[in-house]
Amino acid sequence: MTRKQRRLTMIGGSLAVLAVAAALVLNAMRDSIVFFSTPTMAAEKHIPPGKRFRLGGLVQPGSLVRGDNLAISFAVADGSATLPVSYKGILPDLFREGQGVVAEGALDASGVFKADTVLAKHDENYMPKDVADALKKQGHWKDDYGAKPGAAAAVPMQQGSAMPTQGASR
C-alpha cells in the first residue's frame, strides 16, 4: 500500500466514524430538537405525566385566573387544541391574553400542565423605537402597527421615497 492509499484510507475511515457519531447524536436528540410542543403535538405524542417538555401557543383570551400567593392558571391553545396551564410565580411583563407564550414544565396526572418557567413571546410586529420615530416624523406611521397579525395595513410609500435608516439625513 502506498502512502497516498494509506492517507485516503485514514481520511475515509475518519469520515465514516464522524458520520456514525453525528447520526447517533441526532437520533438521541430527535425529541429535543423542537423548541416547544404545541397542545396538538403534546396530545399526539401522548406525553406521560411527569416528563418535562416545553409547551408553546397562544394564551386563550378570558382564561387567565389569578389565585392566592402568585398562583396563576390559564389555557394555551394552538388553533385546534387547548391545554390548561398552572403556574406559581411572577409572570413576564409581555405576558397577556392573546399573546404567544412558551412554558416549561410537565403534565400532572389530571392533564394540567404544571409550569415552572413561563416566557412571553413578543409579537411579529415589533419595530425598533428609532424606526418607529422616523416613520412618525415622515408621516408614514399607522396606528394599526400594534394590531394583531394580518390586520395591519400596508405602509403607503410614495414613489421614490425610502424609509430612513439610523444616522441617515435628508
The three-state (H, E, C) secondary structure of 54-97, written as one string:
EEEEEECCCCCEECCCCEEEEEEECCCCEEEEEEECCCCCCCCC
Amino acid in the structure at residue 132: A
Q: Is 51 exposed, middle or buried (0-12, 13-18, 19+ CB in 10 A)?
A: exposed
What's the mean per-residue pLDDT of the chain?
79
pLDDT digits (tens, 9 = 90+) for 66-93: 999 999 999 999 888 899 999 999 988 8
pLDDT digits (tens, 9 = 90+) for 98-144: 888 999 999 999 989 999 999 887 656 666 677 777 777 767 666 55
For position 18, what pLDDT does the model report? 96
Helix (H) or strand (E) holding 52: strand 52-59
In this predicted model, which residue has the larger pLDDT, 116 or 30? 116
Q: Can you read off the three cell numbers belonging to residue 89? A: 410565580
For position 30, what pLDDT does the model report? 73
pLDDT band at residue 63 under the 50/70/90 scheme = very high
